[in-house]
């Protein structure tokens, strides 16, 4: 029988040293993203509300609840960075703390039809995916300036990895475990023939 947390009090007492810094970090990153980030030439703040901090707290608690259960029932002393990133990403996208502030087409900026149909609507629909992609890549230590390996293929650039993860998050059905495997795959050095 799987235990269910009806209260997070025990979980918080056990993992407060992880829960508080993680919640603060995600809130700060979300605030920075909201205030400074541009996507496709548009300020994030012009198309979304600030991230809901109550939902971010819920994301952290759900992540820690899952990781605590994994550590209790499996021989896992400490989750890998992939597992950690996968559960954060999974719960972020279940909760979606960013919400588009544009409620109907009359509120959209004056754009040509092609831009409105493709880029702008895509940004409005996927701001949570755009945000958490960068967070997850950072957590698994893939950064834009990192060389992946000496034998790296030119097609396996940071942008390609980021696009692959964004596509996976937006269009695939997945569990946190499948997301973890996908993240491990992104961090594999390609073989060159």
Average pLDDT over residues 86-109: 85
The kind and range of the H/E element at 168 are: helix 158-171
What's the structural domain count of the chain?
A: 1
CB of 134 closer than 8 Å to CB of 158: no
Q: What angle do CA 100, 105, 110 make, to 5 degrees?
A: 100
Residue 173 resides in a domain: yes
pLDDT digits 0-9 by tens, 145-180: 544 444 455 445 788 888 999 999 999 999 999 999
Mean pLDDT of 45-54: 92
Helix (H) or strand (E) holding 133: helix 127-139
* Distance (Å, whole) CA 153 – CA 165: 18
Mean pLDDT of 135-142: 91
Q: Which residues are CB-neighbours of 96 under 8 A, at least 6 positions away?
A: 55, 128
Of 126 and 41, which is predicted with more confidence?
Answer: 126
DSSP helix/strand/coil, 84: helix
Average pLDDT for 132-156? 70
- With respect to residue 13, please indicate whether it lies within any of the assigned structural domains: no
Q: Which segments of the chain are extended strands (E)?
A: 38-39, 42-43
Question: Is residue 106 included in any domain, yes or no?
Answer: yes
Q: Is residue 111 in some structural domain? A: yes
Q: Which domain holds residue 86?
A: 35-186
Residue 86 belongs to a domain: yes
pLDDT value at position 158? 80
Which 3 state secondary structure label does DSSP give 37? coil
| Residue 65, C-beta contacts closer than 8 angstroms, at least 6 positions apart | 5, 8, 11
Token pair of 31 as six digits: 């605030």
Q: Is residue 164 part of a domain?
A: yes
Residue 160 lies in a domain: yes
Does the residue 15 lie in any domain?
no
């Amino acid at each position: 029988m799987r235990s269910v947390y009806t209260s997070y009090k025990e979980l918080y007492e056990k993992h407060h040293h992880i829960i508080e810094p993680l919640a603060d970090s995600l809130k700060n990153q979300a605030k920075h993203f909201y205030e400074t980030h541009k996507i496709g030439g548009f300020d994030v703040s012009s198309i979304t509300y600030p991230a809901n901090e109550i939902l971010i707290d819920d994301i952290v608690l759900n992540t820690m609840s899952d990781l605590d259960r994994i550590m209790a029932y499996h021989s896992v002393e400490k989750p890998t960075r992939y597992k950690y990133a996968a559960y954060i990403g999974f719960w972020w996208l279940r909760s979606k703390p960013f919400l588009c502030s544009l409620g109907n087409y009359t509120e959209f900026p004056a754009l040509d039809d092609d831009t409105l149909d493709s880029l702008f609507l895509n940004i409005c629909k996927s701001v949570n995916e755009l945000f958490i992609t960068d967070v997850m890549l950072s957590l698994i230590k893939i950064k834009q300036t990192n060389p992946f390996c000496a034998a790296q293929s030119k097609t396996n650039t940071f942008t390609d990895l980021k696009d692959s993860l964004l596509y996976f998050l937006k269009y695939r059905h997945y569990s946190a475990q499948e997301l973890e495997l996908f993240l491990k795959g992104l961090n594999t050095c390609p073989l060159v023939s």
